[in-house]
Structure 1
Amino acid sequence: MRLFEILKYLGIDSQGFSDFEVRGLSQLQEAQECDLVYIDQDKYLDGLKDSKAGAVLVAQKNASHIPSTMQKIIVPNPHLAFAYLSSFFAYENFSFQGEDPKIGEGAIVMDGAYVGKDVEIGERSVIMAGAVIGDGAKIGKDCKIYPNAVIYAHTEIGDRVYIHAGSVIGGDGFGYAHTQEGKHIKIFHNGKVIIEDDVEIGANCTIDRAVFGETRIKQGSKIDNLVQIGHNCVIGEHTILVSQVGLAGSTTTGRNVVMGGQAGTGGHIHIGDFVQIAGRGAVGKNLPPHTKWGGHPLMELDEWMKFYVSLRRMLKKNNKTQ
């Protein structure tokens, strides 16, 4: 899509702009001269000086901060404009165009499985009945994709990865921009999911693709059933996520983190190496390495246990006096 087409779609006069073919929407750090970025918060302005983006969606109040190397597209709501434009760059999961799948020696694709174009499946991997593999996905050696699992387009899966029945890898994250009238405009996610070697993902899990860039599950991590991992999350090596854990977008963890059942995080949280979070722990802040936490509001585990004991004693005492 050319820049002049984007300007016309947004209702902006193209006079004074230099036209070019826009390859896609990108984040500041990764953008190249053929990419379009957006700035909707002041905290991202510092990243402009190192960005190579060809053009930027920006509000009038921040227009003076845009370097001369970038063409500035002034819009009332950059986030909303980005949402509208994201649909033009969305992945086609099943384009029906491209090369037939490359199936490694000894790999098995069972009857009833669907494998899209430009897919690569490594040696001795098994794709079971009802599984769906989107275009351009790559699956390594000795993997097992169980019945009715769905691997969306361009997902990358390492070696010896097990994905159990009903899990969905690479669907869009939960992201919307909002109009003044209160309508919710979908943000199409144009990144991908990368799952490294020796990961096991339980049944009915969802791992969302990144807005741009990647969602990554690092080597050796084990994910129980019914876990939700939001867009742009990065899960460190050998992490364990127990059933019904929910991670909001851009959560990152160090290695060997353990999160108990129904624990969850807010967005843009970092959890340090070897941290343990008790079941139903609600993480709303960054956590330093080698610590243990629990409760809601979150507190260090020893403190939480003392608080819980004191609460039980107080309740028993109140019951006796009634």
Structure 2
Amino acid sequence: MSLQNSITHDFELSGIAPLESASPSQISYIDQDKYIPALADSKAGAVLIRASLQESVPPHIQPLIVENPHLAFALLSQLFAKPCFSLTSHPPRASNIHIGANVVIGENVSIGEHCIIYPNVVIGENVSIGEHCIIYPNVVIYRDSVIGNRVRLHAGSIIGCDGFGYAHTNDGRHIKIEHNGRVVIEDDVEIGANNTIDRAVFGETLIKKGAKIDNLVQIGHNCVVGEHSILVSQVGLAGSTTTGRNVVMGGQAGTGGHIHIGDFVQVAGRGAVGKNLPPHTKWGGHPLMELDEWMKFFVSLRRMLKKSAKPKE
């Protein structure tokens, strides 16, 4: 994809970043009009943008005009992709830890004291693990992940894998967006078996302190799980979902992307969250309703079904 404008000045490009955190040596992109206001305060050196929005770019940011900024961003992200794992194992920089058989540890990994790493765990480059953690068999921790103190990662969980993100060409091909961010798991978190927690596109996917996550949960890129929240088995959070503290989501509940769930919200099992939810509320059903309304609806529906099933005299 070619740029349609002349470069006004040269600078060394160090990476890609969102508008709000980009530095003068980084590039960002805008694909929707709603992000235009963020340009004024951005320190990005350049921005990928459509020609129709070029006049919105302030003088301190270099506009790079492309037909499809999202696709251009996907192609650019591949230039900054890092290897996730080393092909050789390196001894950890820690003492007083227990490491099982067939554990693979990448370069520049730190593991705190009193940790137990069970067999067949794989730890990527530049990972940091705090003290008193238990990493159960067959866990995989991708590069740059940060694990706090007293964290338990149960068997088969994957921390920091690629998020599910693609840009699409006019002829229908799917171009992979490399996810160059990381996963951060704070203190006293427990993550069940066979979870997948995707790393961020840039920035971080964050699991805050005290969160408890059941088995078979999927957490998408750039999500934030609030302090002391509980996600029950088979919950799915789409990319950039954020929750407040002490949120409880029942089994098989899920969210759309870019949704915020307020503090102390409860979502019943199989609830489908498609909008922001205010704090201290309870919800259920699909389409989602406040819990009391959903329960009344369900009772009424059962009565209607029973009535319709009675044989006619």
Instruction: Give the alignment's TM-score, normalised by structure 2.
Output: 0.97
SS at match of 1:103: coil
Q: Which letter does structure 2 place at the counterpart of 1:86?
A: S
Which residue matches 1:317? Answer: 307
SS at match of 1:67: coil
Q: Does 1:250 align with 2:247?
A: no
SS at match of 1:316: helix
The 1-side partners of 2:297 and 2:115 are apart by: 50
Which residue matches 1:7? Answer: none
Q: Does 1:19 align with 2:10?
A: yes
Distance apart, 1:227 and its partner CA: 0.1
Which residue matches 1:35? Answer: 26
The 2-side partners of 1:19 and 1:96 are apart by: 37
Match of 2:165 among 175, 178, 182: 175
The 2-side partners of 1:241 and 1:270 are apart by: 15
Q: Does 1:58 align with 2:49?
A: yes
The 1-side partners of 2:94 and 2:114 are apart by: 7
The 2-side partners of 1:16 and 1:225 are apart by: 50
The 2-side partners of 1:156 and 1:222 are apart by: 17
Distance apart, 1:113 and its partner CA: 0.7
Which residue matches 2:143? Answer: 153
The 2-side partners of 1:55 and 1:15 are apart by: 12
Q: Does 1:91 align with 2:82?
A: yes
* Structure 1 residues 278-306: Cα deviation after superposition (integer angstroms, max 9, x where no partner): 10000011111111110001111111111
Instruction: Give the alignment's TM-score, normalised by structure 1.
Output: 0.94
Matches within 5 A, 1:123-138: 123-138=113-128
Q: Which letter does structure 1 place at the counterpart of 2:228?
A: H
Which residue matches 2:290? Answer: 300
Distance apart, 1:252 and its partner CA: 0.5
Which residue matches 1:277? Answer: 267
Distance apart, 1:100 and its partner CA: 4.7
The 1-side partners of 2:6 and 2:30 are apart by: 22
SS at match of 1:46: helix
Asked whether the equivalents of residues 196 and 219 of structure 1 are also in contact (C-alpha less than 8 Å), the reply is yes
Distance apart, 1:96 and its partner CA: 6.1
SS at match of 1:50: coil
Match of 2:93 among 103, 116, 119: 103
SS at match of 2:73: helix
Paired residues, what number?
Answer: 312
Structure 1 runs not aligned, ≥5 long = 1-9
Q: Which letter does structure 2 place at the counterpart of 1:23?
A: S
* Structure 1 residues 218-262: Cα deviation after superposition (integer angstroms, max 9, x where no partner): 000000000000000000000000000000011111111110000
Q: Does 1:70 align with 2:56?
A: no
Q: Which letter does structure 1 place at the counterpart of 2:39?
A: L
Match of 1:114 among 104, 109, 118: 104
* Distance 1:96-1:54 versus aligned 2 partners, 3 A rule: farther
Which residue matches 2:134? Answer: 144
The 1-side partners of 2:172 and 2:91 are apart by: 44
Structure 2 runs not aligned, ≥5 long = none
Asked whether the equivalents of residues 4 and 65 of structure 2 are also in contact (C-alpha less than 8 Å), the reply is no
The 2-side partners of 1:205 and 1:300 are apart by: 29
SS at match of 1:297: coil
Asked whether the equivalents of residues 39 and 45 of structure 1 are also in contact (C-alpha less than 8 Å), the reply is yes
C-alpha root-mean-square deviation of aligned residues, in Å? 1.5
SS at match of 2:64: strand
SS at match of 1:302: helix
Q: Does 1:203 align with 2:193?
A: yes
